[in-house]
Structure 1
Amino acid sequence: MTVPKPLLMATDLDRTMIYSSAAAGAVAAETVCVEHLDGAPLSYMTSAAVDRLRWLATAAAVLPTTTRTIEQFGRIRLPGAPWQYAITSNGGNILVDGVPDPQWRRGIDAAVRAGGAGLTEIEAALRARIDDSWVLKFRGADDLFCYLVVDSAATPPKFLADWDAWCRERGWSASRQGRKIYTMPLAVCKSRAVSEVRSRLVASGRLAAAAPTLAAGDGALDAEMLAAADHAIRPRHGELEELGWTRPGLTVTTAAGIGAGEEILDWFTDALTDPAIAGVPG
């Protein structure tokens, strides 16, 4: 008999759970490489964070929730895997036992079409506004959205605000995460996918009906997910930190960099025995 999990924990990955060398900051703790690219180490967690996430995957319903493409997510060896559910492409895809759910994706594609401009129009407009003096790469992502990898110092100061304003009139938005500038349909968001997975877990008996949803993330694309959660945490770095973003009851880590990832996992762990969150006996 399946025992329902008491919490749903939706967590962003890059710069929340896992960190490149550049994003990690000063590192005093032992680290573990959890992602390689072309044979080279790319992303890390502290050893303590690895142990905590692996344990949390047995105690709660942990839901990796990332803007990465399906292929990029597949590179990560995240402790606690395999995952019954994972969210990629900023909510555009739900993976069920590692396989994209076609019904969910069809609904997302329909919502994007109904919401405004198509990806082809957006990409053409974006290409007309950029040049090689500050854009290092132009990438499409799972036929859903696109992003730029930029030279931050050389990026025109008004580009992001002006591009975002143009996009929003057409059902899209633009945001920055480190050296990446994402252009995303408003219909594609993590919170909707998290809500869908939650409903499925409750219906299958794997999650208690009264279980709260907890969320963690550092970027503007995480804001809606954090706002929709019952309890949320963000690290003391990243785009939301730069924006001063908050919401009632939001927890902000003391640490920045890779230490924040460990602190977030401590917060998730503490939530399992916090009567105010999990509703367990005190």
Structure 2
Amino acid sequence: MLIATDLDRTLVYSLAAAGEPRPGEPGWVVVEHLDGRAISHMSVLGAGRYEALARRWPVIPVTTRTPAQLARIRLPGPPARHAVAANGAVLLEDGEADPAWAESVAAALTNVAPLAEAQEALARACTGDPTARRHTVPGLFCYAVVDRPAFTDERLDALRAWGASAGWGVSLQGRKLYLVPVVLAKSAAVAEVARRTGATTVLAAGDSLLDTDLLEFAHLAVRPGHGELADRGWTRPHVTALTATGIRAGEEVLAWFSARAAEVTATGAG
């Protein structure tokens, strides 16, 4: 069995996305620092649930973060043997990128519009937002940190229309606007890990449009009550849609994983 989970706004949260601790509740557990600042958190309950889960079953972080950004995360419990970064473009095993997987990804990227065209489309979408900060993951995809009130639905629709014709997907997560080739799929990398490990059951969690293929691929999946998928009312018969939001949703995702993993183990299916 494999447990494949998105990180940001699924398990770990910025202070803005987390919500406030309840009266008398301990403060959040910091799981990521950047330039000396605490930027990602879990609740004490969530951290304990994650550690218990990771000590019993294989958990695979599956993220759109680059490998360097993923390396900043310090989740409780044992380190993951496998991880998926850059939205499926990088398959990590014991912290090292798999070169054969990188070659297969490079070949797939020849089937979509070039990255330079995507950068131009993203720049057009950010016109009118002087605070927008655009970034590129070399050879793979691009994204921007935008001012949400200034970023209109019309601009988002125009970017999606370009993406639909060019083979690129669009995802707006908080203030981050991603433009990612559709051939970069989290599910493909997770399927490769399942093949290598002999896993027959995959459990998954995610909150954004970039997680859709992963949730559809999994045998059972769960999503929080916030995020792009919740906003669209997206679900499938095998996907549990939680109502909890913020850091509480992270706690419930982990409780769901533990319960489903125990059921799978008891039946011998995983």
TM-score, length basis structure 1: 0.89
- Separation in 2 of the partners of 1:278 and 1:229? 19
The one of 230, 248, 254 equivalent to 2:243 is 254
- Separation in 1 of the partners of 2:266 and 2:151? 45
Name the stretch that deviates more: 131-140 or 72-81.
131-140
Partner of residue 137, structure 2: 141
Identity across matched positions, percent: 44
- Separation in 2 of the partners of 1:117 and 1:135? 27
Give unmatched runs, 5+ long, in structure 1.
Answer: 1-6
The one-character-per-residue Cα deviations of 1:46-95 (angstroms, maximum 9, x if unpaired) are 11211221121121111100011111101110123422110000111011
Matched, 1:101 2:98: yes
The one of 91, 115, 131 equivalent to 2:88 is 91
- Separation in 1 of the partners of 2:125 and 2:229? 26
Q: Pairwise mapping of residues 1-282 of structure 1 onto structure 2 (< 5 A)?
A: 7-28=1-22, 29-30=25-26, 31-113=28-110, 115-131=111-127, 133=129, 135-202=131-198, 207=199, 211-274=200-263, 279-280=267-268
**Residue pair 1:271, 1:278 contacting (<8 A) in 2 also:** no
Name the stretch that deviates more: 83-92 or 55-64.
55-64
- Separation in 2 of the partners of 1:144 and 1:66? 14
Q: Which runs of 4+ in 1 moved over 4 A?
A: none
Q: CA deviation at 1:106?
A: 1.2
- Separation in 1 of the partners of 2:77 and 2:128? 41
In structure 2, what residue type is equivalent to 1:162? Answer: A
- Separation in 2 of the partners of 1:194 and 1:38? 31
Q: CA deviation at 1:129?
A: 4.2
TM-score, length basis structure 2: 0.93
How well do the aligned residues superpose, as a CA RMSD in angstroms?
1.7
**Number of residue pairs aligned between Structure 1 and Structure 2:** 266
**Residue pair 1:190, 1:225 contacting (<8 A) in 2 also:** yes
Give unmatched runs, 5+ long, in structure 2.
Answer: none
